Amino acid sequence: MKGLWIMGDVSIIARRLSPVYVQHGWSGNGGYFNNVGLRLLSWYDDPKLMDYLFGLGQLSLIGKPGSEKGGERMILTHQTTGTPHWVDPSERWIFSKIAFIDYGYFYDSDNTWYYVIPGPFRVKIPLAYIANHLDDREYEFEECRRIVSRTMDYCLNEFVPTDDELIEIANSYDKPYKEIVNQILGAEHPDHELFDYYRKLYKAMDDWVVVKTDDANENITKIILMKNQGENRKETIDWG
C-alpha cells in the first residue's frame, strides 16, 4: 500500500530565501501536523523567526524559540543535528536529499506556511487549511486523501479534456478514456494509479499541484495544474 497516510513519518521544512534559492532540510520524525506543523504555526509563523529557526541547522525535533539555551522540557527543546540546511534553486529540490519523505512544510515568499503532500504529484496547500480539517484524533491523513482525490478528479475530468495534446495521449491507450478515469478515480490512491499505469499521461503534466483556499482556509477554491514544460517550466510553484 502506498501514500502519505500509511507510510512513515519523516518530515522536512523549507523556506524561500529569494526568487532563485530555497533552503531546506530535516525537521525530524513524527512529522505529522500535530507534532511539526502545529509547532510551526504556533511558534514560527513570523518571517522574523525564519532566520533564527533555519540558523539552527537541521533538527531532529523542533522546539520552542530559545529552547536550545535550556529551561524547557526535552519534548519542547530543539534537538540539533549539527548539519546545516541545503540551499537549492527552487522548491522542486526540497524532496531530493532525503529518501522517503512523508511530510513537507514550506514557508513561501507570501509569509505563509504551506503543507506539501509528497507523492507522484507534490500537492501544495496552506498549512492553516490542514489545521482546520483535522479528524477527531487531530490527524490530517483523511483530509490529505480527500485533497489528492479531488486534485485527481479535477485533473482527469477538467484539465486533461481541455488540452488537445493530453487528449491525444489519453486516447493512445487501448481502452476508452472514461474507463481510464473510472479505474484511476476508483483506486485507493488515484495519484499512484495514474503514475503506475498511465505513465506517459502522467509525465505530460507538471508534477506539482497548487491548491488555493478561501481567506478563512476553510474551503478549496481552485486547483492549479500545468502541463510539463520541460526546461521551460517555471521554478517557482505558485501559478496564481
Residue range 37-49, pLDDT digits in tens: 999 999 999 998 9
Phi, psi of 86 (to 5 degrees): -85, 155
- In this structure, are 96 and 10 located in the same domain? yes
Residue 130: how many other CB atoms lie within 10 Å:
24
100 and 16 in a single domain? The answer is yes
Cell of 13: 521544512
Q: Which of 50, 41, 102, 53 is nearest to 78 (CA)?
A: 53
Global pTM value: 0.93
Answer whether residue 196 shows pLDDT above 60.
yes
For the cut 70, the answer to whether the pLDDT of residue 6 exceeds it is no
Helix (H, G, I), strand (E, B) or coil at 188: coil
Is 238 inside any structural domain? no
User: Is the domain of 99 the same as that of 55?
Assistant: yes
Residue 104 lies in a domain: yes
Residue 187 is part of which domain span? 141-230
Q: Report pLDDT for 2.
A: 33
Look up residue 48 and give its three cell numbers: 522574523
> Between vectors from CA 129 to CA 203 and to CA 213, what angle results, nearest 5°?
65
DSSP state of 156: I
Report yes or no on 236 lying in a domain.
no
Mean pLDDT score across all residues of the chain? 93
* Tens digits of residue pLDDT in 118-147: 999 999 999 999 999 999 999 999 999 999
Other beta carbons within 10 angstroms of residue 176's beta carbon come to 11
Pair (183, 95) in one structural domain: no
The answer to whether residues 107 and 150 belong to one domain is no
Please check whether residue 135 lies inside any domain of the structure.
Answer: no
CB 181 within 8 A of CB 41: no
Answer yes or no: do 182 and 76 share one domain: no
Residues 33 and 87 in one domain: yes
Asked whether residue 128 is domain-assigned, the answer is no
66-107 pLDDT, tens digit each: 999 999 999 999 999 999 999 999 999 999 999 999 999 999
Judge whether 123 lies within some domain: no
pLDDT(231) > 90 = no
For residue 221, what is its C-alpha cell?
477554491
- Domains in the chain: how many in total? 2
In a domain, 30, yes or no: yes
For the chain, give the percent of residues with pLDDT over 70. Answer: 96
Residue 125 covered by a domain:
no
State yes or no: pLDDT of 234 exceeds 80: no
pLDDT of residue 3: 33
Classify the C-alpha dihedral 6-155-233-116 as positive or negative.
negative
pLDDT at 8: 58
Q: What is the structure's pLDDT at 119?
A: 94
Q: What is the pLDDT of residue 4?
A: 33
Q: What pLDDT is attached to residue 159?
A: 98
Q: Which long-range contacts (CB under 8 A, 24 or more apart) does 161-166 make?
A: 163/227, 165/204, 165/227, 166/201, 166/204, 166/205, 166/227
